[in-house]
Amino acid sequence: MSLFVKKPAINASASASSQTRRSTISGSDSLLIRHILDAIEQVERYTRGMSESEFLSRSMVQDAVVRQIEVIGEAATSLSVEFQGEHPKVPWSKMISIRKKIIPEDFNVNLASIWNTVQDDLPLHRQAIKKLL
């Protein structure tokens, strides 16, 4: 009776491919990407099935969405320059500037701009981020 258990063979090319993908994302960049995706998905849950007029009438939803947009902007800002450079097709500058677009220096939040961001920008950002995972 053998004490060793025979492990199934692993497809070497698939293993090398996934290893390469994982090695390009540092631990902190990986965590930040996850934060961005989680924040986008939260916004989608908060606004699912909602019309613009309903969004404009619900201050708690507005506050929650603004908070998640802050997370997206801050996480994108914190990604390493190397990681951003490795993924030039992702609209990093738009994600980084999204916070300033939504919350300008005078703190006068533009709700119509937030709604447009939720409808137009976040779905595209979500697609780009999902390709990295």
Catalytic residues: 99
Distances from the Cα of 74 to the Cα of 5, 36, 61, 96, angstroms: 48, 9, 20, 7
CA distance 23 to 107: 40
Distance of CA 128 to the CA centre of its chain: 8
Pairwise CA distance, residues 133 & 124, whole Å:
15
CB within 8 A of 125, min separation 6: which ones? 36, 40, 72, 91, 94, 95
